Structures are given as C-alpha cells and as structure tokens.
Structure 1
Amino acid sequence: MKGFSPSVTLHNVAMFALFRRYVSENGVRAKLSSPPPPPTHTPDCYYPQLGFPFATTLGNFHILNPLSWNIIPPVTRRCPLCLFLMCEPVTTSCGHTFCRRCAGGYLPSKCPSCTESLQKREEKSMKNNVLLISVVEKCCPDETKAKCHLQEKLKASEFAEALRIANEGLYLVPNDQSLKLCRAEANWGLTRFSDALTDLDYLCCLRPNWTEGFFRKGSALLEMGHQTEALIQFHRCLKLQADFVPAKSQIQKVGLRAAVCISFSLSGESGLSREKTLGVLTVSDFECPLCIRLFFEPVTTPCGHTFCKNCIERSLDHNLRCPLCKQPLQEYFKNRKYNPTVLLQDIMTRLFPSPLAERKQVHDAEMAELSNLTTDIPIFVCTVAYPGVPCPLHIFEPRYRLMMRRCMDTGTKKFGMCCYEHGKGFADYGCLLEIHSLELLPDGRSFVDAAGCSRFKVLKRGQRDGYHTADIEYLEDLKVDGSELEVLEHLHDSVYQQAQDWYQHLGIRIRDQINRQYGTMPDKEENIQASSNGPAWCWWLLSVLQLDPAYQTTVLSLASLKDRLGHLRLILEYFSQS
C-alpha cells in the first residue's frame, strides 16, 4: 500500500501504559487548578485515585515528570523541517539538527535555520547524533522504549490497534497534536483517507509552515480523487520550500500515489525544574571523549560522534578517522565545516550555565597564553628567516598544522623561526614571522605566506603539544650619532653600491629567479637608523646569498649595523672574486 510509511514515533500514546505502572509504583505529584469531573465513560487509562485522566499537558494541569528535557524551550527542540519534536536526531555540516527522516527524505538545498548550502551526499553519510540520543534516553527512558515498541507494531502494519490507542488518548487529550498525527497515520494505513485528512487539516492550521504536512494533505486528496485540490496543496509546499522534490514529482505525475514517510518524536509538554533535569543529566554526560572536559564548541562528525572543535581538529591532523568508531572522515576533513552543534550548545547553556562559563574562562585563558609574544611563543625549527623578507612555508607535519591553526585562531598570526642546532634543538637567535595568508589543501597540508618582522634572542626553551616554544627578548640595533653616524652612513653607502654592482652582474635568469622568490632589491633608505632592524636591503641580501645557517644566525644576532655591514662587505668581496 502506498501512502504513509509506518516509521512513526508515538511518544504520548505509549505513555498511558507506562504512566499506569508509574502511578501504581510511585504515585505522582501534580498541580491542578480546577480538576475536571470524571468522564461518564471511564476509559482504560483513567485513574480514579488522581481524579483526572492522564495527560502530559492539559489546561493548567502539569504532571511533574522528572524524566524530561522540557527545560529546553519547544522551539529549540523542534525539527526545523517537520516542526515536530526531534526524533533520531542527525546533525548536518552547518551544525543544525533535524529528525533522521527529515534529513534523509526532505533535506533541502539550504538549511532552513541558517540558509547554508547543504550537499545531497550528506544524506547517505550522516549518522544519528550519538550524544543527543543519549540525552533523550537519559531524560525519557520509558518513553524511548515505548517509542521503539510502537515503531515495531506499525512496521507490522497493525493500524487498527494503533487507531484504537490513538482514539483512547484523544478522548483524554482532545488537542494533542502527536496523537492526531498518529491517528492520521493509522487511518491512512486503513485507507480511511477522509478521516486522515481531517486530522491533517487540524495540524496544518496549527503549523502553517509545515511543508510536509501540506504534502500529506495533497496526497490524501489525491487518494480521494480530488486532483485539483491536491495540486493546490503541492504548490503550497513549493511556496514554503522551493526545492521540495516530492511535491515537484507529484505535480509532474499527478494521479500517482506518492510513497512518503512521516515521523514525529518526543512530545509531551511538562513543567520541569532545573533540579529535576540535573538529577538525570550531569556535566559528565557532556564531556568530550578526547580532552575529558566539558564540550567547548561541540561539533558532530558524520558518524554521529561529538567532540570539541579543537580536539577533533587535532585528532584529524594525525588520523583521518573518527577517534571512537574509526569511520573514515576524509570527506569531512576535506570540507572543514567544523560548525558547532547548535542544539547541544543550547542544552548546555540552559542546564549547566556555570560550568560552561568556567569552561569558557579556561579556553580564554589558554588563548591569552597562546597570544603572548614574549613567553612560550611557538618556534618553527626549519631555517634562518630575516626581518622584512618573505618566508614561504609548506606545512605538513601534524605538530606544525596545530601551530599554524593556533596562530590564526588567536589572531596574532605570528610565530618564531629558528634553524636547527645540535644539542639545543634550535639556535639561540631567530626571527618572528607574521602570516600574511594561509592556503589549506584537501589533504591537510597548507601553504603559508609569511614574512619576517622582528629578531629575538632565546631565553628559555620549552615544548607544547609536540612543537617547540621559547621565552624570548627582542633585539634592536644600537643607535649612534655624531661622527660615528657619519662614518656609519659612509660605510652603508659604500656597501650598498657594492651590493648593487654584484646584483647587476648576475645573469638575467638568476635575477629573475631571485625577484620571483625574494622580490627586487630594496632601495637605499635615507635614514638608516629608522628601523630597529636596520636597512631592509641588508636582510634581503643575506637571504639571497646562500650562506651557512650558523653564519647566518651569527649575522642575525648582531645588534650593531656597523658590524653587520662589515660582514656583508667581506661576503660580497668573496663572491665578486669567485
């Protein structure tokens, strides 16, 4: 039979039997403003000891259900697509969560919450959000079991039994939307399309933006032979969601029954205090399995597992598989859409505001520590860099991937560069580099366009998460005046002319290569002491001349422009003779 799929979740219906057992074993506490008189016909689930029929929400009466998550507002818990409460939640790449049925069958091209583009291949790769399912099971264990039991019954096409239970429930709770949807499902299964349409009309009036509801109305009308009215409903679907494929298909193939599925999930509005919820959910339920701390910016992978954003990024630097289930995450890593899971953030904000605030303080403190440019600055051990000179890098090691990411995240965009030195790990002097741009490659490597900005001396060595760090002090050239300045300017002009002559005598091909990699030779500066690092052309020349790293480091460490010019003159004389 074509029509509604039996993949339906009937939370409130199952609550009748569960509540009967709960009352007999534990009793119930309730707030009641004016108890209604007992019905003339006592249904099976009427409880004389309470004086009122069971309902999750009925007027001013609320059962204080200790196993619920109603501290989260309904608008937060609803699926943005079907507008019913979340069932089998899956999280898309943009960080928003939907029912599995909605994501699998009616996922639009853009997220209805943030309008970010969604790729169709996400439907196949997405798995249930393990953490959110765990939260639901902890808050509503009996309801979850009942839901699974009723799903099995509906898969067995026991629509008559489902209709009986739905009618009994609606006798007690006439306006319960969940039960009306269940009854529409059962009536559809029994080919009672007119009865199903009645409930769908009611639901669509309450939910005017429920695209799937209007599609179901159109399908019911189509089964009843009302093609014109059905087309109106299908067109309304497209008005609400322009890329709603089932409606497009029905418009093109009007007269054919469409096989669609319906699902709705945990319902039941109940008054719940934070203390009751905290008795079920604890901070440990929201701990990252990698850092064992409360989630900070929780992201959900396609396999359904959740981690802190920074934690999963570090894990993927080393291995492109989920740390828990080992499912390959190459495509996820390639797209790099590490968007926080919005629903989880909302839950933590409402349930654990203080621990979350403390977690944020810890994160901010870590970022502040990483932003310090004198203490524990990251050191890239590779080559000798110079102030003002480009230093392009190819990043492939996991430890340096982490370093570059932290430099970008903190906003400093700076790190130290030192050459290797045996016995120490890296040299005593280096240059601070600033990142101008960073190009990420699909396999995790990156090309970094950086340039030197300041020289430094290493005071203390350390390590952080696999890469070197150092406490440093910055170097500045000693300034001179009077006769010393005149001598220095004369020496500067002489060495600059010597450097220009050497450069002009190079072959055209070699000069072109130098220009592409280092840029053209800088002009002579009027004030040679304007910069704390001295004239820029000196560093440009040192980078062009392929010298021994130890010698380069020695020249880099000099705080006297006169001494540095002296070294350059000797080097140029040597190369000119060669």
Structure 2
Amino acid sequence: MSLQPQVEDAQGARSAFFIGADSDNVLEEQDHHPLILQKAKALASKNCLKEAIDLFSVAMRYGPVQPEQLGTLVDCILRNFKRQAAGPHSLSCRSRDSEESREEDVFDCPSCHRFLGEPVTIACGHSYCKRCLQRQLLSKCKLCSAAVGGGEEKANVILCGLLDKWFPDELKRSKTLCEVDELCRRRRYHEAVSLATDVIQGDSETMAAARLSRAEAYMALKLYRLALEDTESSPCSAEALFRKAMVLHEMGQVDESLQVFLHCLAVDEDFPGAKRQVEKILCDLLSPADENVKVGLRETTQNTSPHLRNKTLVTEAQPPSPVQRQHQVRAASAHNHLESLEKRWESLERPGLGRAHSLRAHGSSCGEEGLKRVCSAPQLGDEDKGSLLKRKLSVSDTEPCVVDTGNNKLKKQGVVKGSKHKVAEAKPCRSIPKDLLDPNDLECSLCIRLFYEPVTTPCGHTFCKNCLERCLDHTPQCPLCKESLKEYLACRNYLVTSVLDMLIKQYLSQESAERTKTHLEETSELSDLTKNVPIFVCTMAYPTVPCPLHVFEPRYRLMIRRCMYTGTRQFGMCINDPQKGFVDFGCMLTIRTVHFLPDGRSVVDTIGGKRFRVVSRGMKDGYSIADIEHLGDIRVESSDELQRLQELHDAVYEQARVWFQNLKIHFHNQILQHFGPMPEREADIQETPNGPACCWWLLAVLPIDPRYQLSVLSMTSLKERLVKIQHILTYLQSTPNN
C-alpha cells in the first residue's frame, strides 16, 4: 500500500515534542512512556502513519503497551488501507454492492442477511438471528448503531411462534445451524463437522453459514486447508473474511492474516474481534526483542530527531562517564532501529512488493494435519519487526488490496478468475401464506387487543408499551414468566419491536388502522383540560409556586406518564376530603421535569398554574378525575377603586417583606430552599387572572391551616385575598418567633 502521511505536520509536531525534552529538564524515565504514547496516538489520529509507527515503537521501549492502546494506530492503518483498496472491483465494494442490490426482507437478519431463525430482539428494538448474537458477529446494531450488549440470547417468543407457523422448514434449518455452533462451543468438533456436512449436502439456503461453522471446527482440529476451502467457498462477507484470517493466523501466516483482517474491517469496521486481532498483531510486531531495553529520552531524541541530531549535550573535550557510555550505546541502538524503520518505509511507496511466501508453497512441503502453528514475529529482531510491519501494510498502487492464500490468487484486475468466493445473490422476499395469517396471533396478552407499539422484554415476551409500563408500575417482573425486570425498568428503554410493528402495519393494515384510531380516541380524552382531568390528591398548591412531588404509588405513576404522553403535562392538585374524596377547589400543576428512579419511582418538578372549581368527580384506572371550571379574579374597573387596591397591595407587600426579613435564619433558609425568594413587586396587579404572585408565595410559606389556605385560594376578589393575608401577617408579627 502506497501511504502518503502528512509528513510536514508530523515532522513539526514531532520536533516540538522532542525539543520540549530539554537537556536541562530531563524527565524521569517512568514519565517518558505516557508522553510518547500520547504523542503517538495524536499522530495516528492525524493520519501520520509513518511517524505514528515510529513513536509507538519507541513507546514500547519505555514500557509495556497493551494491544487496546493501539486502537488509534489501527484506525489510521485502516483509513489508509481503505483508500488504497478503494476501486470498482475491490472486495469491500463488491460486498457492499451485493448487499445494496438485495431487496429488503422483513424476515432476514440485518447482520448476515439470512433467514431470521430464532430471532432475538435487542434493546434498541431490532431483531437478529440467534446465531449472529451467539457468535458475537456485531458490536453495534446495523440499523441504528446502538451498542449490542452481551447475553441477549433469549429468543422473541411471539416471533418464534409466528416463524414456526409460517416458515417451519427454514426455522428448522436455522436451529440445526445453532446446534453446529453449540457443538463447537462444547468442543465436540468431529460431531460439528459431521452435522455441518449434512447441512451443506442437503440444503443450499444455509450452505454458506454451515461452511463457516465447519471451518471453525476444522481450524480447531488443525485441518487448516479444509478450513480455508470452506471460508473461500462462502460468499464474501465480514464473517467469512474474519474466519479466513483466523485460520491464516493459526497457521502462522501473520502477513496474510493481517491483510485479511484489514479486509474484514474494510467491509465492516465495527466487526468484533477483527480490530482486537489487528491490535495484537501490531503490538507483537512493534514490541522490542529485548523487553529490558529502556532507552533514555535524551539520547533517543538526540539520535532520532532529524532537527536535533547535530546538537550535542556533552562537550567533546570531556570524556563520557560509564553511565553516559551505556546511555550512548542504548541511544545508538534506538537510532539504528528508527533509521531502519525510516529506510524501509520507502518501500511502501514502491509498487510490486513481493510477499514472503505463499500458503500454497508452504503447504506443499507440509502435511495438513502435521502443520504446526508458527509465529514469526517473536523470532525477529527490532529492525526486522519494523520492516515486517511496513511490508505487511504495503500494497501496490497498481494492484488492488487482495490476498494470496495459496488456495487461490486474486488477480490484478480485482476479478478473481476461478475464485471460490461468491457474492450473495438477491433473493425474492418471503410472503406469509394468507391462510396462516391470523390477527389473534398478534394480540397483547394483557389487553387482549392487537399490539400497539409492541415492546419486547429481555426475557423474550412482548406486550403493548402502555400495558407493560402499567404492569411495571406494580411489580418489576415479567407479567408472564415472572423473571425480574429491575434492570430493564431502571433503563426505561421501552423501544418498539420493529419487526412486529412492520408486520402488523404491512399485513394487518385494516386492523392496525382501527387499533390506532381507538388509541388516539383514548388519548384525546386524556388531553381535555376541563373534562376528566386527572387529580392528584395530596397537598395544597398555588399559582406560580413550585411544587416538587415524590411519586411512588402505581396509580399516580400511570397518571404522570399519561400527562407526559398526551403532551398536556398538566394535572390538578387538591387536598383530601373525608366525605368527597377531595375538596371542591384546587390548582392545576404543570410538569417541568420528571426524574425517574431505577425502581420505578419518580421525582416530579411542577409549578402551579390556573385555579379551578370541581364540577363533578370520577375515577379512572385507580386515580381520581374531575370535570372542572377555571377560576379567575374579578377585575376592578373604577380608577378610584383600583388606586385603593394598589395602595392595599403595596402596604401588604411591605409588611410581608419586613416579616420575611425578621425571620430566624433557619426558617428564612428553609423557605428560600423550598419556595425560592419572595417575588418582586408587580407593576400591574391585575395583569393575570390569578393576581400578584407574591400573594400565592405568602400563602405557601405562612404557617396556617390548609383549610384557611383553601378559603383564600377559592377567592375571586383580590381585595379580599389581600385583607386575609394582611390579618395573618399582623397576627404573626404580634407573636414572637419560636
């Protein structure tokens, strides 16, 4: 591969780094490692591959570098690899073109594009075949890029039942493939080979997947040539390339395996395992032969930086000490190592580099079963390792990025003559037999209606989203199998199962439209802020005053969710009445934020809005509802009367301010913490139907009986309200603070 790093930027950045290590401020040796490693990562992120390789190699001389720390270097190599591999006939392009030409089938796995056998629905709502998840063939969802966690292997019960009814033969074949994989996991490789062979001979639909599973078993049995034949007989895919690279790596063909791993990442950059394998190979290639060699930063920078090579730190007249001579020897070793890397780097820019040897030549001199794993990298010196890495990354400008495995040679044109690699052919979409389509198969077991926004739990059971949330309000267990859903409840990631939702809308369009209509009608009933308004029976609430709530009862959890879902974000607040259930007057609360706790409880931040009077009462799903009419102050029109009202308001406001300032400090702080500061004086006291905000703030903080507060809340005369508050303040000011 002819790679063109940004040499000027890299040299400038590298020079600045080395100059920073001034001779007068030599860092301790243990501090060198993280600094160099950080600089190497920065160069790799800027696509300066040559400089990055140099510094990663130096970093490994100062201390151990874990394979996962080479992630930025792998990304840099992959970017260059993709750029050189890009072309109309490249493997990755051919694979993508074949996938894009496929007609989307709802019954295909988004990962392997084969039948969705034993479907497993992951947290994001998309479903994959069990085989892809068990074999860890994806780290991110192919449809939405959501992270795919481990252990998500419980099949979707509803989908499995439907597929077994509609496509029994295909589901049976998929289960057989899973049996092959299970035999491999249990290390019963001979049985796995036998079963996979039966599948290949008897079924063309699952032949490719069976070959890859058999290749894994062959590799475990050290039958490498047979394993390679199976990988190359499969359609070109990330999984096939990864399996092929693993076989090559097991055989000790590091050169070939590295390039095939890169091919795999070019097809699917998120393929699990491939990047880790590349990191391990690079770590092995860049590691120094002598792990005890630690080159001092002063000598290393002096001998490796082209800008500082002529700078001497010790005068020629003064002979070096034994310690200095030892450092000079080590520095010379590091210098020779990096000089070798820089010289061999030039080979990257020359086309037609030959390979070390082909697998065919190697295989001709070795028996298949007797072939032992060879790892060449640990046997090489430092210079050879750097050279090997540069050679492994080298591909000619005139030759596409292809791999010679010995079993076949990919030609210069990129089209492989007689290659066993196949490109998946587009298949017609499956259709459900009409006589087997029954709406009853797609009913929620809780509401006994057609699924609306179907959600699948980690245990594999599916319910309407609203139905499931209502059940989780009462207990964090699956309504069917009673498996704990505490973690699922804590995440509250109730995303619609896309396959089921698509099936319902596509094949049961009429029933789906009716179900949607019913849901919208029910939702519209909840959106009316005068009819059937939800009532939270708890405490006194006032206009403009914050009212934080701790919601833990299942009925109120449901009520809050409905207020959020409908978009009104409002409900009524009343205090309890022993005879009626709740009093005749209350205040609407508007939800500002809801903080859900892991166990289902929530902390709801609300603020008071309009006042209301209850017209009629009722119940809905356990909580109170009411028909209400809103209240507002009667406006004063006479200018004289308005002036007297203004004077009364100003007197009460000043009296309240003095009372609040004279409170003991702990009472003062408690009020500030719960209700905030006293509102500012308003210019127009009749601007809103509820009057000045200071009146409601005072009612909330004054230590008076709730029934007395309720009588003030129900008043529609601002004058009467101010007089009541004035009487309360006068009484409190006449009584010493406790």
**Alignment-derived partner of residue 681 in structure 2:** 524
Indicate the SS of the match to 1:477.
Answer: coil
| Counterpart Cα distance in 2 of 1:73 and 1:314 | 39
Matched, 1:178 2:197: no
**Alignment-derived partner of residue 372 in structure 1:** 528
Letter in 2 for 1:508: I
Matched, 1:577 2:734: yes
Verify the 8 A CA contact 2:117 2:174 in the aligned structure 1.
Answer: no
Flag the 1:164–1:289 CA change in 2: closer, same or farther, 3 A.
closer
What is the percentage of aligned positions where both structures have the same residue? 46
Indicate the SS of the match to 2:582.
Answer: coil
Letter in 2 for 1:526: A
Indicate the SS of the match to 1:315.
Answer: helix
Verify the 8 A CA contact 2:214 2:230 in the aligned structure 1.
Answer: no
Verify the 8 A CA contact 2:212 2:234 in the aligned structure 1.
Answer: no
CA offset at residue 143 of structure 1?
Answer: 4.3
Flag the 1:256–1:548 CA change in 2: closer, same or farther, 3 A.
farther
CA offset at residue 84 of structure 1?
Answer: 2.1
Verify the 8 A CA contact 1:184 1:197 in the aligned structure 2.
Answer: no
Flag the 1:558–1:335 CA change in 2: closer, same or farther, 3 A.
same
2:256 to 212, 229, 237: 229
Letter in 1 for 2:649: H
**Alignment-derived partner of residue 136 in structure 2:** 106
1:497-516 matched pairs, under 5 angstroms: 497-516=654-673
| Counterpart Cα distance in 1 of 2:158 and 2:373 | 40
Letter in 2 for 1:349: K
More helix by share: 2
**Alignment-derived partner of residue 357 in structure 1:** 513
CA offset at residue 432 of structure 1?
Answer: 0.3
Letter in 2 for 1:506: L
Verify the 8 A CA contact 1:97 1:341 in the aligned structure 2.
Answer: yes
String of CA shifts for 1:116-143, please: whole Å, max 9, x gaps: 233x4xx225411111101111102344
Q: Which runs of 5+ in 2 are unaligned?
A: 1-101, 184-189, 285-371, 375-424
Letter in 1 for 2:662: H
1:480-499 matched pairs, under 5 angstroms: 480-482=636-638, 483-499=640-656
CA offset at residue 523 of structure 1?
Answer: 2.1
1:332-347 matched pairs, under 5 angstroms: 332-347=488-503
CA offset at residue 337 of structure 1?
Answer: 0.9
1:212 to 236, 239, 242: 239
CA offset at residue 468 of structure 1?
Answer: 0.7
Indicate the SS of the match to 1:570.
Answer: helix
String of CA shifts for 1:159-192, please: whole Å, max 9, x gaps: 45754663465xxxxxx45334435655775777
| Counterpart Cα distance in 2 of 1:433 and 1:460 | 19
**Alignment-derived partner of residue 691 in structure 2:** 534
Verify the 8 A CA contact 1:298 1:309 in the aligned structure 2.
Answer: yes
Verify the 8 A CA contact 2:215 2:228 in the aligned structure 1.
Answer: no
**Alignment-derived partner of residue 59 in structure 1:** none
Letter in 2 for 1:137: D
Verify the 8 A CA contact 1:93 1:339 in the aligned structure 2.
Answer: yes
Matched, 1:327 2:327: no
User: Mean alpha-carbon deviation: is it higher for 279-288 or for 419-428?
Assistant: 279-288
1:396-415 matched pairs, under 5 angstroms: 396-415=552-571
Verify the 8 A CA contact 1:438 1:446 in the aligned structure 2.
Answer: yes
TM-score by length of 2: 0.61
Letter in 1 for 2:700: S
**Alignment-derived partner of residue 586 in structure 2:** 430
| Counterpart Cα distance in 2 of 1:104 and 1:430 | 57
CA offset at residue 503 of structure 1?
Answer: 1.9
| Counterpart Cα distance in 1 of 2:170 and 2:212 | 21
CA offset at residue 575 of structure 1?
Answer: 1.1
2:463 to 307, 310, 316: 307
| Counterpart Cα distance in 2 of 1:186 and 1:453 | 69
| Counterpart Cα distance in 2 of 1:178 and 1:463 | 57
**Alignment-derived partner of residue 708 in structure 2:** 551
Verify the 8 A CA contact 1:185 1:196 in the aligned structure 2.
Answer: no
Verify the 8 A CA contact 2:118 2:175 in the aligned structure 1.
Answer: no
CA offset at residue 463 of structure 1?
Answer: 1.1
User: Mean alpha-carbon deviation: is it higher for 303-312 or for 544-553?
Assistant: 544-553
The higher radius of gyration belongs to: 2
| Counterpart Cα distance in 1 of 2:541 and 2:216 | 74
| Counterpart Cα distance in 1 of 2:690 and 2:192 | 84
Letter in 1 for 2:191: S
| Counterpart Cα distance in 1 of 2:666 and 2:557 | 35
String of CA shifts for 1:73-94, please: whole Å, max 9, x gaps: 6443322222322122111111
Letter in 1 for 2:676: G
**Alignment-derived partner of residue 154 in structure 2:** 127
**Alignment-derived partner of residue 294 in structure 1:** 450
CA offset at residue 245 of structure 1?
Answer: 4.2
2:621 to 435, 457, 465: 465
CA offset at residue 282 of structure 1?
Answer: 1.2
**Alignment-derived partner of residue 200 in structure 2:** 166
| Counterpart Cα distance in 1 of 2:530 and 2:656 | 35
| Counterpart Cα distance in 2 of 1:542 and 1:139 | 67
Flag the 1:92–1:139 CA change in 2: closer, same or farther, 3 A.
same
Verify the 8 A CA contact 1:126 1:304 in the aligned structure 2.
Answer: no
| Counterpart Cα distance in 1 of 2:373 and 2:522 | 61
| Counterpart Cα distance in 2 of 1:105 and 1:420 | 59
| Counterpart Cα distance in 1 of 2:557 and 2:429 | 48
String of CA shifts for 1:175-217, please: whole Å, max 9, x gaps: x453344356557757775566455435333xxxx32121122
Flag the 1:553–1:229 CA change in 2: closer, same or farther, 3 A.
same
Verify the 8 A CA contact 1:376 1:470 in the aligned structure 2.
Answer: yes
1:203 to 217, 231, 234: 234
String of CA shifts for 1:30-81, please: whole Å, max 9, x gaps: xxxxxxxxxxxxxxxxxxxxxxxxxxxxxxxxxxxxxxxxxx9644332222
Letter in 1 for 2:725: L
CA offset at residue 480 of structure 1?
Answer: 1.5
| Counterpart Cα distance in 2 of 1:269 and 1:439 | 48
TM-score by length of 1: 0.77
Flag the 1:83–1:230 CA change in 2: closer, same or farther, 3 A.
farther
CA offset at residue 497 of structure 1?
Answer: 2.3
**Alignment-derived partner of residue 311 in structure 2:** none
1:42-121 matched pairs, under 5 angstroms: 74-106=104-136, 108-118=138-148, 120=149
CA offset at residue 288 of structure 1?
Answer: 0.9
Verify the 8 A CA contact 2:455 2:496 in the aligned structure 1.
Answer: yes
Verify the 8 A CA contact 2:595 2:604 in the aligned structure 1.
Answer: yes
Flag the 1:524–1:247 CA change in 2: closer, same or farther, 3 A.
closer
CA offset at residue 336 of structure 1?
Answer: 1.1
| Counterpart Cα distance in 2 of 1:292 and 1:161 | 42
**Alignment-derived partner of residue 247 in structure 1:** 274
